[in-house]
Amino acid sequence: MADLSVNFAGISSPNPFWLASGPLTNTGYQVMKAFDQGWGGAVWKTVGEPVINVSSRLASIDYGGRRMVGLNNIELISDRPIDDNLREIAEVKRRFPHHAVIVSLMLASDADLWADIMHRVEDTGADGVELNFGCPHGMSERGMGSIVGQVPEYSRQITAYAKSGLKLPVIVKLTPNVTDVRIPGRAAVEGGADALSLINTINSVMAVDVETWLPEPQVAGRGSHGGYCGPAVKPIGLYMVSALANDRQVRVPLCGIGGIETWRDAAEYLLLGAQAVQVCTAAMHYGFRIIHELTDGLSDYLDRKGLVSVQDLVGQAANRVGDWNDLRLSYSYKSVAEIRAEQCIGCNLCYIACDDGGHQCIDRVEGQKAPKVREDDCVGCNLCALVCPVPGCIEMVGKDLGTVETWRQRQSRMMPLS
């Protein structure tokens, strides 16, 4: 069987699956229960000066009969005293010495304040800290959270405060609410970050009840922006992890977060360069027991691929995601749709989608159930395959047209000599 253990920035854990900082890591009871189930690590719910939270706090998007495709959260950091959190962190680490216990922190930009809390965290025996530069609501209005992650100078400075005189690894959790995630990522590394985790939640307003006109969630008739997470955000997380994995100025381990619900989701993050992953919404939805499906699934997958460890998977697809300018142009390579007539049910969704929203290259054929694709006119947009309700009925087939040229190469070739 493949070895699922990982060493992330000097932090060891029996598998790459960690609970992300959030409601499910708020107490020692919860974290120990999760470790008993088999989770490899946990990032404690963000510790800082205690706050007073609001009620209610969560709202979700349901789609196609499925609950919680996306989750919105307006809860703030831990509202429990710092001393209580640190005492429980120490107890968890004593009872589970081989599991990763990471302490998420959020404090004001004060060097002395950071020095004090970092040494107190070190005394607990925790394995590392995660600086929360990503929370988009509540704390950002107080000069912390995403407001730090959106200003490179702040990210660099506070990371340096945390690293000063500390032996523990420092992970910086990045906000996705930026134009280019590489900029704050580089700043954190310049400040001394040993690793980066991403993404934190996305700024959002979840919904408005069209009958009552109340936002969701609502607190005594008013709402606010919150953090969006859950399966719907995975593509954004994958993109941002790949962007940092391919950035030559960011040469630290990455922890992938965002929409991870299955072992396949985790494998995608690992393939794009993450060395560990964090899970939150899925564990809130289905309970800590999902760890068995995650570890069993990943172990079976590694065995099937002939890989002996998680590290063998890390980054294997990272260099396949890059700039659009480096893709082959359509006169060099194209894909065309092929409809398997024997599988077609005659719903004509492909024809309608192509005619109304595509490139008008699918024709109905009188007396035949299956439409026909005009290959010369097909641009390979994939829309027909995406709307087809029969798996495998429509296949996109690649056609190598000979000349290998990208937009970047074409521009270079066409540039006049000076």
Distance CA 264, CA 297 (A): 8
Residue 374 confidence (pLDDT) above 90: yes
Q: What average pLDDT does the chain have?
A: 95
CB 238 within 8 A of CB 272: yes
Are residue 214 and residue 105 in the same domain, yes or no?
A: yes
Mean pLDDT along residues 149-173: 93
Mean pLDDT along residues 320-339: 93
Are residue 247 and residue 393 in the same domain, yes or no?
A: no
Mean pLDDT along residues 123-152: 90
Are residue 36 and residue 180 in the same domain, yes or no?
A: yes
Are residue 157 and residue 290 in the same domain, yes or no?
A: yes
Residue 29 domain boundaries: 6-320
Rg, the chain, Cα only: 24
Secondary structure (3-state) at 248? coil
Are residue 311 and residue 334 in the same domain, yes or no?
A: no
Distance CA 243, CA 273 (A): 9
Please confirm, yes or no, whether 135 is among the known catalytic residues: yes
The pTM score is: 0.95
DSSP assignment of 296-312? HHHHHHHHHTT-SBGGG
Residue 366, Cβ neighbours under 10 Å: how many? 5
Structure tokens at 64: 């196609």
Residue 13's contacts (CB-CB under 8 Å, 6 or more residues apart) are: 5, 6, 40, 41, 98, 99, 100, 276
Distance CA 314, CA 265 (A): 13
Give me the helices (H) in 58-175, please.
82-95, 111-123, 146-149, 152-163
Domain termination residue (choose one: 302, 320, 338): 320
Are residue 179 and residue 204 in the same domain, yes or no?
A: yes
In a domain, 87, yes or no: yes
CB 257 within 8 A of CB 236: no
Are residue 345 and residue 235 in the same domain, yes or no?
A: no
Mean pLDDT along residues 225-240: 96
Mean pLDDT along residues 301-310: 97
CB 106 within 8 A of CB 75: no
HSE-CB for 321 with a 13 A CA cutoff: 20
CATH of the domain at 242: 3.20.20.70
Domain termination residue (choose one: 320, 336, 353): 320
Are residue 405 and residue 316 in the same domain, yes or no?
A: no
In a domain, 267, yes or no: yes
Distance CA 297, CA 353 (A): 36
Mean pLDDT along residues 101-108: 95
Are residue 295 and residue 332 in the same domain, yes or no?
A: no
Task: Count up the domains in the chain and report the number.
Answer: 2
In a domain, 1, yes or no: no
Are residue 307 and residue 347 in the same domain, yes or no?
A: no
Distance CA 181, CA 176 (A): 7
In a domain, 138, yes or no: yes
Residue 418 confidence (pLDDT) above 80: no
CA angle 22, 25, 31 (to 5 degrees): 160
Domain termination residue (choose one: 320, 340, 373): 320
Distance CA 126, CA 133 (A): 20
What stretch of H or E contains 357? helix 349-357
Provide φ and ψ at 362, rounded to 5°: -115, 130
Share of the chain above pLDDT 90, in %: 89
Are residue 76 and residue 201 in the same domain, yes or no?
A: yes
Catalytic annotation, pick one of 135, 280, 378, 393: 135
In a domain, 217, yes or no: yes
Closest to 234 in 3D by CA, of 203, 265, 212, 263: 265
Provide φ and ψ at 242, rounded to 5°: -65, -35
Q: How many residues does the chain have?
A: 418
Are residue 186 and residue 246 in the same domain, yes or no?
A: yes
Give me the helices (H) in 164-252, please.
182-190, 234-245
Structure tokens at 329: 């142009």
Share of the chain above pLDDT 70, in %: 99
Mean pLDDT along residues 267-292: 98
